Structure 1
Amino acid sequence: MDGSWPHEHSSLRPNPDAVFGRLENGFRYVLLRHGAPKGRAALYLDMQVGSLMETDAQAGIAHYMEHMVFNGSRHFPPGELIKYFQSVGMRFGSDANAHTSTQETVYKLQVPTSDADVLHQGLVVLSDFLGGASISEQEVSNERGVILEEKIARDTERFRASLRRLNFLLPGTRFVNPTIGVESVIKGANAKLLRGFYDSWYRPELAVLVVVGDFDVQALEAEVKAVFSSAKARGVRPEVPAWGDASLKGVHFYYDRRPDASGMVSVEALHPRKYEHDSLAVQRTLIKGQLAVRMLQARLMTLVDREGSPCIKAMSRIGRTFSLFDNARIIAIPREGQWKQAVHLVENELRRALDHGFTSVELQRAKKFYGNYFKQSLKKETARDSADIAQEIVACLNQDRVYQSPSQTYELFLPMLSELTLNEVNATFRDAWDSGNRMVGLSGVELDAKVEPEAELSAVWTAASKDPVVAWKAEDEVSFPYLKVPSYSGQSVERFEEISLTKPYCYQRTEFSNGFSLFMKNTSVEKDKVFLNLSFGRGTALMSDKEQALARFVLKVLRNSGVGRLTSLQQSQVLAGRSIDFSWKAQSMGLGLYVSCLRSDLDMAFHLLRTALLNPVVRQNQYDAALTQVKNDNSQQANTSSGVLSMKGKRFLAEGAGHFADLDYAEVETFSLKDVRNYISSAFRQGPLFLCAVGDFEPDVMENLAGRFFGTLPEWKAADGDPVKLHFPVGQSETAHIKHESSQAGVLLAVPVPYIDSGENVSGGHAVYVEQVKLRLLRRVLADRLRVNLRERLGVSYSPRAILKNSVLYKGYGYLGVQVETEVGNTEVVEKEIRKIMKDLTDSGVTAEELNRVVRQSLALQKKVVNRLGYWNSLLYTTARVHPDGFERAASAARIIESVSAQDMTVLARKYLMLDNAALFTVLPSDL
């Protein structure tokens, strides 16, 4: 990194709305005014230094330093920074966070901009990160345990497999060193070692401030200059250690057994390290590569969707590993026992594309996709979150790419797309794979112990290379929509508009004669964007344990293909010119179809919803893919403490019921394809049918669309059933084990907090809702004490968290709990500390100071979420299907939060934090 801007050595011009500045000390900044979310800004400090700048004696210190800047600085003594964040409504982890990678360490703050002092203090905090860290010996010692716990939490089988792959691809290079570092360095780290790295690398010329949000740019620029002009280098900038380069030549075969993971076949080409400035030529090469990827991916999807395919999934990519190594890769997930056939498919399709190239029909489809992608990006820009844009700017700067606006990108790439020729794209694809090497991989497949795995893989690949391949024959375009929709609207029988509450807590409801209900909340908080949630039938709260597992699995099966009789490829082709995301969800009070789209795509979104509801099609491949996904998920979870806590711990807290736990493969594999189809045929025509529409639309337009597409359906039989009874394991304990070798452990301790809806009205809202709001505050208090005691004081957990789970849908059931991932040997200490924290809350109560901090956080979150469609979508669904007075409750939340006293919280703690009722779930390694 030489301290220059990417656009200073490129013919490409940067976003004209962004202010790019450089101070005399070399410090740079980018300021961009953006209105979403309103009243907030993302402040990112991009330190262009990461683990690749470390010597062997410093392995892990770049990441260690990321932690240390939060633990005492020029303006914030140890322990005070996070309290300050909380006092202004920020949450550590979501509004204040950081990450370290190979070439960057990025600090991220999301602050309210309505208070000029808070915005100023945000700059001061980042200035302290750059040059004012205290790095006391005591704080280094205190943080060591947290970092070791984070290292243990990262040490999963998937992580170890990725390291094995890197060591195969880039042997002898520094790229194989994990950012977290090595244990000996972490354990031996002291203030001198950290200070040496900090003073050498945290320099103004390696720092870039990126601020995106709702603020006055001119005023903020003056603040930036005042705060950062005094920053200076404090030490000599060292030479960067030699990184090494890709060195493999020829064809190499790699086998990784990975027990319990599903099989995977891969082939890739890795080019030597390359660094190039951004230019029109570079961008032209990138778009040609992505067009080729799109075409090859379409072929792979076509083959996967065919009956009898040996693969249940296949993917292709052309990109850059570590932003330096051009890399082309194909991955395929084979069916059980068909890895050899999958190898043939991968080898043949790669060779077919290299030998015969792509077709003009395929190229036109790919061009259409990307042309519309750039158009949609332009439309969606105003609704993007400031933090996402700040992240994009940082990525551009650190990859030496010119940050341009969506309109610039549109104007650059649209003409480029139209003039690109098939020969050019084919040549770029061949160049991507012409690296002088091939790495053919196989993992997750048990082979005969008598056979040398790499030799067997080599033999299969060699045999596949002798298969004759001919040019690809493109498949015909599919037509959609294919279901007829009436030209008239269904009859409305009732209209209701909630206007009695304070803005913005208003909504509309329309009832149709066939029993269909439409709930609408029109708002422009995210310009031109709309969320649709279609809910029908019985929800999981009305199902037995086995029924809810089947329902959730059915929706997972449906998510593995296109809508209705469309394949996933056909759906992507149909939606190529649109911005529509579609998914299925199993909800507590109904099965759900969820769509987010732009307002201009509403008509197509309704066609998708109606087709998915009335004509769901399930194929063998979809079923197999879903089954494999569950198996993979279970395998990964069984190897980590967090996974076992999620899978088995949640079941324990419901005395074996899996309503809140992840799907269990042992149960799911008992469901046949016939079971899935039978469930769909019986459950998908059950009412009541609700549509919740939230976003930037005209209510009369939405009502007309909903009336035509759903108000004209025949009335469905109402789903019946009583809410399931879940039971909390009062006073019980259980221990589970991680399946394979690990030093991870975990503790889940909870007390019952049943949700009992009395319906009694009191000043400020329903009594039960008032208590629910207080319980959320109590959870935050508990979470903060966990952070202080388990993370900062004892250093026995990287991310302890408090959990509140209760709902009116599960009468008499709920819990307030603590989940902690830790190291083996710490479980007794962790359990004892959790019990002590809970006892202290009941004995000594909640302090006014800590309550004030969580109140400020909660009020700030309330202000933030009302500017996001996701909040209104959730609230509208709750109002439609759970609490008819949901908007009234939500409108009173801030008032309730402001009225809560420390004494109220203490009373609540004494009511529920009864340790005699606590249930304990412990996770230990397999050998204990």
Structure 2
Amino acid sequence: MKSVMHTFFRICVYLAIVVGCWLPVSSYTQQNVSYASLTKDCLSITWPHEESDLQPDDTLHFGRLQNGLRYVLMRNAEPKDRVGLYLNVQAGSLYEDDSQQGLAHFLEHMLFNGTTHYPPGKLIKYFQSIGMGFGGDTNAYTGYDETVYNLLLPSASEKALDEGFLVLADYARGALLLEEEVNRERGVILAEKRARDTAASRVRKEQLAFDFSGTKISKRNPIGKEEVIKTADAALLRSFYDTWYRPENIVVVAVGDMDVTQAEALLKKHFAPLQGTPHQITCPELGNVAKKGKDTFYLYEPELGYTELSIGTVYNIQPHADTRAWEKLQLQEYIAVSILNNRLEKISRKAGSPFTEANVYKGIFSGQFAYINLVVQTGKDTWQESMALLKNSLEEMLSQGTSQAELDRVKKELTAHLKKQVQTAETRDSRALAKDIIRKINSNEVMLSPEQELELYLPMLENMTLDQVDRAMQAIWGRERRLYEVVGTADLRDKEQSPEDIILKSVEHPVAVDGFTWKDDHSVKFPYLEINTPPAAIVSREFDKDIKVQRVTLDNNVVLQIKSTPFQKNQVNVAIHFGHGKAGEPEPGMAMVAEPFVLESGVGRLTAEQLKEALAGTNIEYRFNVRPESFVYTGSCLNSELEQLLQLLYTALHDPGFRDNAWKTTQQRLGQLYDRLESSVEGMMQIKGETFLEGGGRLYGLAEHQQVASLSMEQVVSWLETAFQSAPLEINIVGDVDEEQAITLVRKYFAGHERKPAKSSPAHQVSFPTGKQENITVHSSIDKALVTVAWKTNDFWDISRTRRLNILASVLDDRLRMTIREELGATYSPVVYNRSSRVYPGYGVLRAQLIVASGQAETIAEIVKRVAKELTNTSIPESELHRALEPTLTSIRDYKRDNRYWLDSVLSLATRHPEQLQWPLSILPDFQSISVDDIRQIALEYLQPEKAAMVIISSPQ
């Protein structure tokens, strides 16, 4: 069940506390041993299915070498001709002793800085030279229980597999750990610690320590302690490496478009010779949480931007084998928690609700602790009402139980999801599969196929009773320990009572909150709009044989573009573009308000929550966005659900629901968002920095909060209604779709409403602040600065020029990585990109952005300009261009087999910009033709130091 839960349900924030290194055999024999005995020496030696009555997916090939290393191989067709390789070291920050805090993550970094076959400085260049992007195609992360390295090979050839396994084998036992590299890398890790330091991350760290008080979890964090990072040497790192990086503690996973027999032979070649060292292993003792008591936690953190409160419990459990009976119990608990989550979501949307968002998180941490948390976001002055309502809602469900309608909704949702997994299994993504295999192995779960999951869970679902769900809910909360937490903007300091006593009093003597007693609402059926008009007439129909796109023009200014693809089995994506979007925004901030307001409002006869209930049992998802050039509704579904998705989008356009309560909720949430943004360097870049680079324009940045708050609902509705009612529609459909059926459905649902010919888009002129500098101070306790150095480029429409600007950005990005990250250790992940405008004629910006210490900001900005100028002085070496181009060419081959590329980059607004339809034909040869002279010339034109504009946003030192 957990595979479904992780895909379908919200994953607890605890599981997200990992740190990534981003720049971003012989066959086994069945053994009947218990899970507890397997883990007592910290080294797992069997597979989860070897102690289970569940059998794994028979397309998985399991193996074990004589040295103890285990592996899983699986052939999978997507992405085509690519293979994901993963090295799963089953040790993370919980395996560190007190003097080693941060070593697991430090080691993750060091394995990119010198191994047996790849000396320092060679590995990343090697990856790039064969078409792998650092951060995208090669990466790693460190968690509490695991450290995982991954490669997405650009080819499934024998040579690529051989080299890929060589890299992983070097990670496993070939680390050089040179002292000079250790000293160099510690600066990068401290820069990463700075970059990841946010109000939210600090709050989560403190909450974790509170929730798991009494355990080792409360005293560990993957990033580690600063004093350890600053003083760790090669010998200390080697000690941790030799203890835990040993074959019997490693699982290799390979999933992709490969020959499994060939892959197994190559894996054995590189991993069979590996041997661990005779280091003494001391198993981590995790401890236990308290079994009873009411514990309260308070943290004043105004930079969080909102007040978050929760009711929860954490309790000790014994490790379980993953059996059919265990899965049935987990399914019952999952359904109970889902029902409670649905209730809280519905309450958050009711008029007068004191909280604006609600989530329920449940899971198992490190195999020994179960947790559940009810979490809501509220304002600083409404936390007591929110606590009372949260407590009442929980007690109401525990005392009165659930309703059949609630159970039926979750059953339908889960059944639809399980069936979708079967229908889409043929074109699953290898990366997602590999990650799921690793997660399951590390959680002692059996990896089932989608067909097996459906066969296992569907009978359980069909026979699930209210009594079973209610008993599961009682079991979850039948613990004597309760945790009550209030964090964020609510200021409970300097009172006569301690904050903890105030919180406890609010729980024991809650304030009155009326009008929120639970009851089932009667949902209006959907669809409810009747179609009484004849189908729209076809004015013209064309088929572009080069890119295989069908274009149909109807007689009411509706244009349909369809591309049928095999890339995602049984799946369809739809986008409806209309109006001018943000380019036509009458007042600043309207676009920002409109997106959440429209979605929060639902449709005319159904609230957002009723609409979710009406769609239960489908796999339909949809969004509304205000893009620079248009409004757009996007949706996805199974191809068997296309008619229902078009009914939904038709209803959203022709019977939108603009509700007062949705407006109030949207403004509350945006207020909380701005409080967060205004206290972070990243947020202030969106609010002030982008406006500076846009010469006072507002297409790419955010409006000021006061501008957003001063808007009225009537203003926004008036702006939207005109476009919703009369703007011409461009409807794009991409995926595994029957073209004739799609044409018939669009003619049926989008007839009868005459769409007026589009007016030309408003003219826009901007003035880039050439040679100017903007310094912005953020009132934050976090010492960091965001440095942006930018150059004006040009608009989007000379596509050959835009492509060369993108490669120039890649070259500069790599040089800044080597100079400022690798040599100076001053930043974690420099980001360089070009954004050429589709709206402003002649306007584009190539920018470099870096997070650094506040005191280094000016110096780093000058280094960025110096490195950029070097690109104008001499031509770059062919090898450097090759390293920039090859990952791009690999990505292009993937893009062209991705429905999102065709929907967003080719068909999107092609009725206004028909030249886009030719771009897929030229994209690969044009990039392949880029020369060092091209890059030199475009650098000379744009990257002169005197033309740069700078934005430095920092906190007071």
Determine if the TM-score, normalized by the shorter chain, exceeds 0.5: yes
SS in 2 for 1:718: coil
SS in 2 for 1:353: helix
Q: Deviations over 1:540-578 (max 9, x none)?
A: 23446x35x202311121223534432333222222221
Mean Cα deviation higher: 645-654 or 344-353:
645-654
Q: What percentage of aligned pairs have identical amino acids? A: 33
Instruction: State the alpha-carbon separation in 2 of the partners of residues 112 and 566 from structure 1.
Output: 48
- Cα distance, 1:465 vs. partner? 9.2
Given the alignment, which residue of 542, 554, 559 partners 1:496?
A: 542
In the alignment, structure 1 residue 387 sits paired with structure 2 residue 431: yes
Quickly say closer, same or farther: Cα 1:845–1:631, change in 2 above 3 A.
Answer: farther
SS in 2 for 1:749: strand
Tell me the amino acid that sits aligned with residue 370 of structure 1: L
Quickly say closer, same or farther: Cα 1:478–1:495, change in 2 above 3 A.
Answer: same
- Cα distance, 1:67 vs. partner? 0.6
Note if contact 2:689-2:951 (Cα within 8 Å) is conserved in structure 1.
Answer: yes
Instruction: State the alpha-carbon separation in 1 of the partners of residues 850 and 516 from structure 2.
Output: 56
Note if contact 2:533-2:752 (Cα within 8 Å) is conserved in structure 1.
Answer: no
Mean Cα deviation higher: 727-736 or 375-384:
375-384
In the alignment, structure 1 residue 806 sits paired with structure 2 residue 836: yes
Instruction: State the alpha-carbon separation in 1 of the partners of residues 599 and 52 from structure 2.
Output: 43
Instruction: State the alpha-carbon separation in 2 of the partners of residues 9 and 467 from structure 1.
Output: 50
TM-score after normalising by structure 2: 0.92
Given the alignment, which residue of 865, 880, 898 partners 2:910?
A: 880
Given the alignment, which residue of 627, 632, 635 partners 2:667?
A: 627
Tell me the amino acid that sits aligned with residue 257 of structure 2: D
- Cα distance, 1:797 vs. partner? 0.6
User: Which residue does 1:857 correspond to in 2?
Assistant: 887
User: Which residue does 2:816 correspond to in 1?
Assistant: 786
User: Which residue does 2:16 correspond to in 1?
Assistant: none
- Cα distance, 1:297 vs. partner? 2.1
Given the alignment, which residue of 494, 501, 509 partners 1:463?
A: 509
Note if contact 2:291-2:479 (Cα within 8 Å) is conserved in structure 1.
Answer: no
User: Which residue does 1:602 correspond to in 2?
Assistant: 642
Instruction: State the alpha-carbon separation in 2 of the partners of residues 812 and 485 from structure 1.
Output: 45
Tell me the amino acid that sits aligned with residue 747 of structure 1: V
Given the alignment, which residue of 512, 521, 525 partners 2:554?
A: 512
SS in 1 for 2:454: helix
In the alignment, structure 1 residue 195 sits paired with structure 2 residue 238: yes
SS in 1 for 2:168: helix
In the alignment, structure 1 residue 450 sits paired with structure 2 residue 492: no
Tell me the amino acid that sits aligned with residue 211 of structure 1: A
Given the alignment, which residue of 217, 227, 235 partners 2:260?
A: 217
Structure 2 unmatched ranges of 5 or more: 1-42
- Cα distance, 1:855 vs. partner? 1.8
Mean Cα deviation higher: 559-568 or 744-753:
559-568
Instruction: State the alpha-carbon separation in 1 of the partners of residues 661 and 368 from structure 2.
Output: 37
Given the alignment, which residue of 237, 251, 264 partners 1:208?
A: 251
User: Which residue does 1:703 correspond to in 2?
Assistant: 743
Instruction: State the alpha-carbon separation in 1 of the partners of residues 496 and 754 from structure 2.
Output: 62
Instruction: State the alpha-carbon separation in 2 of the partners of residues 433 and 249 from structure 1.
Output: 12
- Cα distance, 1:799 vs. partner? 0.3
Note if contact 1:879-1:885 (Cα within 8 Å) is conserved in structure 2.
Answer: no
Tell me the amino acid that sits aligned with residue 141 of structure 1: N
- Cα distance, 1:116 vs. partner? 2.2
SS in 2 for 1:595: strand
Instruction: State the alpha-carbon separation in 2 of the partners of residues 179 and 872 from structure 1.
Output: 39
User: Which residue does 1:765 correspond to in 2?
Assistant: none
- Cα distance, 1:745 vs. partner? 1.2
In the alignment, structure 1 residue 84 sits paired with structure 2 residue 126: yes
Instruction: State the alpha-carbon separation in 1 of the partners of residues 790 and 929 from structure 2.
Output: 27
In the alignment, structure 1 residue 245 sits paired with structure 2 residue 288: yes
Q: Deviations over 1:408-447 (max 9, x none)?
A: 1110011111223322221111111122111122233234
Q: How does 1:754-773 map to 2 (within 5 A)?
A: 754-755=794-795, 757=797, 768-773=798-803
Note if contact 2:380-2:491 (Cα within 8 Å) is conserved in structure 1.
Answer: no
Number of residue pairs matched? 911
- Cα distance, 1:715 vs. partner? 2.3
Q: How does 1:666-677 map to 2 (within 5 A)?
A: 666-677=706-717
In the alignment, structure 1 residue 228 sits paired with structure 2 residue 274: no
| Misfit runs of 4+, over 4 Å | 465-472
In the alignment, structure 1 residue 894 sits paired with structure 2 residue 939: no
- Cα distance, 1:584 vs. partner? 0.8
Quickly say closer, same or farther: Cα 1:852–1:486, change in 2 above 3 A.
Answer: farther
SS in 2 for 1:31: strand
Note if contact 2:811-2:881 (Cα within 8 Å) is conserved in structure 1.
Answer: yes
Given the alignment, which residue of 116, 124, 148 partners 2:166?
A: 124
User: Which residue does 1:840 correspond to in 2?
Assistant: 870
Instruction: State the alpha-carbon separation in 2 of the partners of residues 799 and 815 from structure 1.
Output: 20
Quickly say closer, same or farther: Cα 1:31–1:486, change in 2 above 3 A.
Answer: farther
Q: How does 1:538-549 map to 2 (within 5 A)?
A: 538-543=580-585, 546-547=587-588, 549=589
- Cα distance, 1:278 vs. partner? 1.2
SS in 1 for 2:914: coil
Quickly say closer, same or farther: Cα 1:90–1:284, change in 2 above 3 A.
Answer: same
Tell me the amino acid that sits aligned with residue 923 of structure 2: A
User: Which residue does 2:934 correspond to in 1?
Assistant: 904
User: Which residue does 1:283 correspond to in 2?
Assistant: 327
- Cα distance, 1:449 vs. partner? 4.0
In the alignment, structure 1 residue 346 sits paired with structure 2 residue 390: yes
Instruction: State the alpha-carbon separation in 2 of the partners of residues 898 and 471 from structure 1.
Output: 64
Tell me the amino acid that sits aligned with residue 579 of structure 1: N
In the alignment, structure 1 residue 525 sits paired with structure 2 residue 562: no
Q: Deviations over 1:319-356 (max 9, x none)?
A: 22455321122122336743322222111110111112
- Cα distance, 1:467 vs. partner? 8.9
- Cα distance, 1:719 vs. partner? 4.2
User: Which residue does 2:453 correspond to in 1?
Assistant: 409
Mean Cα deviation higher: 809-818 or 719-728:
719-728
SS in 2 for 1:209: strand
In the alignment, structure 1 residue 618 sits paired with structure 2 residue 658: yes
Note if contact 2:602-2:656 (Cα within 8 Å) is conserved in structure 1.
Answer: no
- Cα distance, 1:468 vs. partner? 11
Q: How does 1:150-189 map to 2 (within 5 A)?
A: 150-176=192-218, 177-189=220-232
SS in 1 for 2:302: coil
Instruction: State the alpha-carbon separation in 2 of the partners of residues 299 and 828 from structure 1.
Output: 51
Instruction: State the alpha-carbon separation in 2 of the partners of residues 87 and 677 from structure 1.
Output: 52
Instruction: State the alpha-carbon separation in 2 of the partners of residues 336 and 743 from structure 1.
Output: 25
Given the alignment, which residue of 730, 751, 773 partners 1:690?
A: 730
SS in 2 for 1:588: coil
Q: How does 1:51-90 map to 2 (within 5 A)?
A: 51-90=93-132
- Cα distance, 1:814 vs. partner? 1.1
Note if contact 1:639-1:742 (Cα within 8 Å) is conserved in structure 2.
Answer: no
Instruction: State the alpha-carbon separation in 1 of the partners of residues 91 and 702 from structure 2.
Output: 39
- Cα distance, 1:609 vs. partner? 0.4
- Cα distance, 1:677 vs. partner? 2.6
In the alignment, structure 1 residue 582 sits paired with structure 2 residue 622: yes
In the alignment, structure 1 residue 428 sits paired with structure 2 residue 472: yes
- Cα distance, 1:853 vs. partner? 1.5
Tell me the amino acid that sits aligned with residue 600 of structure 1: S
SS in 2 for 1:231: coil
User: Which residue does 2:793 correspond to in 1?
Assistant: 753
Quickly say closer, same or farther: Cα 1:564–1:104, change in 2 above 3 A.
Answer: farther
Instruction: State the alpha-carbon separation in 2 of the partners of residues 498 and 607 from structure 1.
Output: 28
Tell me the amino acid that sits aligned with residue 436 of structure 1: E
Instruction: State the alpha-carbon separation in 1 of the partners of residues 224 and 414 from structure 2.
Output: 40
Given the alignment, which residue of 679, 683, 687 partners 1:647?
A: 687
Q: Deviations over 1:645-698 (max 9, x none)?
A: 343322221123332124543321112233333333333224221101111112
- Cα distance, 1:273 vs. partner? 4.6
- Cα distance, 1:313 vs. partner? 2.3
Q: Deviations over 1:823-862 (max 9, x none)?
A: 1222133112111111110112222111112121121111
Quickly say closer, same or farther: Cα 1:415–1:181, change in 2 above 3 A.
Answer: same
Note if contact 1:486-1:708 (Cα within 8 Å) is conserved in structure 2.
Answer: no
Given the alignment, which residue of 369, 372, 391 partners 2:413?
A: 369
Instruction: State the alpha-carbon separation in 2 of the partners of residues 369 and 769 from structure 1.
Output: 44
Q: Deviations over 1:91-132 (max 9, x none)?
A: 000100000000000111111334321122111111110011
Quickly say closer, same or farther: Cα 1:149–1:756, change in 2 above 3 A.
Answer: closer
Mean Cα deviation higher: 566-575 or 221-230:
566-575
SS in 1 for 2:509: helix
Quickly say closer, same or farther: Cα 1:594–1:248, change in 2 above 3 A.
Answer: same
